[in-house]
Chains A and B, each alone.
Chain A
């Protein structure tokens, strides 16, 4: 009998293990053997993996069950020792194990099962990586012992599954994106591409994955974009807008981005995204057209509002011309015609014609509407006169004095003069509507330089805009005028025109009266001497 100490053998299983051990080790010193055995036993017990031995001769009964096995399977050794799989595992599970065990013994060589499912003592499922090694208890005898080592790989398996799920989710998200997404490694080999990417280049996933970028997008496009790809591989993000022709021949406006892909601080590849911006471009164009139409509509409305004044302004000088001509025709029949008087009358007619021409010019101001018109050098006085010619009459008629305070009346501005006139007409008409019924009514226009801006300030005798309306008044379609009186576009359009001139239209809250300021950058001022271009 071989020496066995209860302290080492624990719960009796060591005796069977020891028996197997002694059979295997068939010679040597008993004490050394005992030490060897104790060392081996300690190692097996300390291993974080499950180690167990089955005996073929005894119907695959388990003769050793390490502490690691207890922890992994949540089954104490008392429950398994000297029992076989059928005693503690469900029947089909046990059948599978035994079949595998028999196969190992028949083939007489170790088997590696990288991933097998199992059930723990509490019923929960685990994944194991198991190695089964057949042994001969007697040298030269049959393979009758089976050493099994099982590692719990549930966590790794779950993590891998989670990763797989995440990858699949990511793939689904990428495929749902309207943008093209392609991921390439640093050798320009495709690692992944989404559905849009395949579709755009008219290829199947197989024709893309693992292929060189040049084979996918064609040598020409590859050459064009090589510098962007190289920059991305150097860690620099680049983007651009350009036109791209699809496989079906359709050309699209696209926004392309090249983004470096970094792993642990090292660039391992790049991602290219291509966004079809054609619809935005189209919308932007439509928006601009709409804006132009609105500006024009607002001008026409303003024109309609001024129709009375304009008719008056034109019919009066026409009456003068017609009257003078009538009298001149009669005088021409008179042999005593006075040449001086004749010349005087003709001079009156001439200046009256000029007056009408001036009004027509003002009207042309109102009907022009192109933001594409070039900036021109315009005289400030002319801009103000062009505006006045269309508003003057109704102010005079309603006894509203207009005063001018121009810091430098000869100043010339680089701008679209007619647009500035439009803003003035708009503001002056607003003032008129606001103050026509006030007792104290006046309007003044001042120009000066303030805070690096050239300012045209339009102030009227009104008491200011109510706080509640100040924010809204610059919004399109906001109006406090009666239905049919205003479009609510005047201020928003005026402001847009100012902004197009790199300036702004602001309401002066500090003024005790209602005051709007057209603010233009100083760069629009052209020295007085310079001639208009």
Chain B
């Protein structure tokens, strides 16, 4: 179980249980995870980084995941692989690509598929 061995992952979601599921899942695959409940907290943590992977919800109380990714895309001093995990298809694929989003995982997600996909992207 070392698909995500050593990967530094930042999980951003306003749902406590989703953060905890991701945290326990990715950790069990060898990743080092941190979580943020909103985009302000996420921006602080990612700056303190570095992180290899960012998985962010899109619609969140307190601010939009797209805004966070835009800021990271334009302002963050290092490269991070960015993913969306969304409950509703509210981001158009072109915009996502323009922001450097590698993949959008729809909720409800399949954890096994997600982990495999993250691992693949890490190895690229």
Asked whether, in the complex, the Cβ of A312 is within 8 Å of the Cβ of B59, the reply is: yes
Judged by DSSP, the binding face of A is helix
Question: Does chain A have a CB within 8 A of B109?
Answer: yes
User: Which stretch, A133-141, A215-223, A314-322, touches the partner chain B?
Assistant: A314-322
The B interface, classified by DSSP as helix, strand, loop or mixed, is loop
B63 touches A323 (CB 8 A): no
Q: Are A316 and B87 in contact (CB under 8 A)?
A: yes
Output the residue of B14, B17, B62, B63 with the most chain A CB within 10 A.
B17
Bound-state Cα–Cα, A165 to B63, Å? 85
Q: A308 at the A/B interface (Cβ < 8 Å)?
A: yes
- Within 8 Å CB of A348, what residues of B? 17
Interface presence of A471 (CB below 8 A): no
Considering only CB atoms, which chain B residue lies closest to A352 in the complex? B17
Looking at A314, A315, A318, the one whose CB has the most chain B CB atoms below 10 A away is A315
B110 CB → nearest A CB, Å: 7
A311-B87, A315-B87, A316-B87 known; A326 vs B111 contact (CB < 8 Å)? yes
Pick from B17, B25, B61: contact of A397, CB below 8 A: B61
Whether, in the assembled complex, B47 has its beta carbon less than 8 Å from a beta carbon of chain A, the answer is no
Contact A327 B108 (CB under 8 A): no
Query: What mask results when residues 374 to 398 of chain A are scored 1 for a CB within 8 Å of chain B, else 0?
Result: 0000000000000000000100110
A324 in contact (CB, < 8 A) = yes
- In the complex, A308 Cα to B108 Cα: how many Å? 15
Does A289 sit at the interface, judged by CB under 8 A? no
The reply to whether the CB of B88 lies closer than 8 angstroms to some CB of chain A is yes
- Give 1 or 0 for each of B55-97: 1 = CB within 8 Å of chain A CB: 0000111111000000000000000000001011010000000
B112-A326 in contact (CB<8A): yes
Which of A313, A326, A399 is close to B62, meaning CB atoms less than 8 Å apart? Answer: A399
**Apart from A319-B109, A320-B17, 9 more pairs, CB < 8 Å:** A308-B90, A311-B88, A319-B18, A320-B15, A322-B109, A323-B21, A396-B61, A397-B60, A397-B64
Residues on B close to A: CB < 8 A? 14-15, 17-18, 21-22, 24-25, 59-64, 85, 87-88, 90, 106-112
Measured CB to CB, the residues of A under 8 A from B are 308, 311-316, 318-324, 326-327, 348, 352, 393, 396-397, 399
Give 20 pairs: A residue, B residue, CB < 8 Å, sorted on A: A312-B88, A315-B87, A316-B107, A318-B107, A319-B18, A319-B21, A319-B87, A319-B107, A319-B108, A322-B108, A322-B109, A323-B18, A323-B25, A326-B110, A352-B17, A396-B60, A396-B61, A396-B62, A397-B59, A397-B61
